């Protein structure tokens, strides 16, 4: 938020309005392979064990197309200040892992108890 504070001060000096869009946990095609969904998908397709914790972390994922739509909606609006962009539907990492396994029809490589959490968000 330090950058937002600086920009807010500059906006006041320049007498312009500022809107700061905060994004959380986006996913979609061509995503960074180190992030949760691509990493899990690649591991499952390679028949590798998915390394994770118990999956109890609660996150709010949003597809990049929805992110783009949200940013466009904010740009057309009169919203000012900080605008959080998310789905509003928090899910656990474990739910994401199980859903990805179901979508790929793979369920044999998810061992959430013993492994470490290696994913970067």
CATH code, domain carrying 28: 3.40.50.720
Instruction: Examine residue 120 and state whether it is found in any structural domain, yes or no.
Output: no
Structural domain count, the chain: 1
pLDDT in the model for residue 111: 56
Instruction: Examine residue 15 and state whether it is found in any structural domain, yes or no.
Output: no
Token look-up 């994770």 returns 52
pTM for this predicted structure? 0.72
Angle (nearest 5°) at CA 61 between 101 and 49: 30
The yes-or-no verdict on residue 113 having pLDDT over 80 is no
Closest among 108, 12, 117 to 59, alpha carbons compared? 117
Instruction: Examine residue 6 and state whether it is found in any structural domain, yes or no.
Output: no
Give the domain range for residue 36.
20-103
Instruction: Examine residue 14 and state whether it is found in any structural domain, yes or no.
Output: no
Q: Express each pLDDT in 60-85 by its tens digit.
A: 999 999 999 999 999 999 999 999 99
Instruction: Examine residue 10 and state whether it is found in any structural domain, yes or no.
Output: no
Token look-up 């970067």 returns 120
């Amino acid at each position: 938020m330090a950058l937002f504070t600086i920009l807010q001060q500059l906006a006041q000096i320049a007498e312009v309005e500022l809107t700061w869009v905060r994004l959380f946990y986006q996913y979609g095609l061509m995503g960074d392979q180190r992030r949760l969904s691509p990493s899990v998908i690649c591991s499952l397709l390679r028949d590798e064990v998915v390394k994770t914790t118990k999956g109890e972390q609660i996150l709010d994922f949003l597809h990049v197309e929805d992110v783009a739509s949200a940013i466009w909606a904010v740009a057309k609006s009169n919203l000012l200040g900080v605008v959080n962009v998310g789905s509003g539907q928090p899910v656990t990492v474990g739910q994401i892992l199980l859903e990805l396994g179901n979508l790929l029809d793979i369920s044999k490589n998810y061992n959430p108890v013993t492994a470490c959490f290696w994913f970067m968000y």
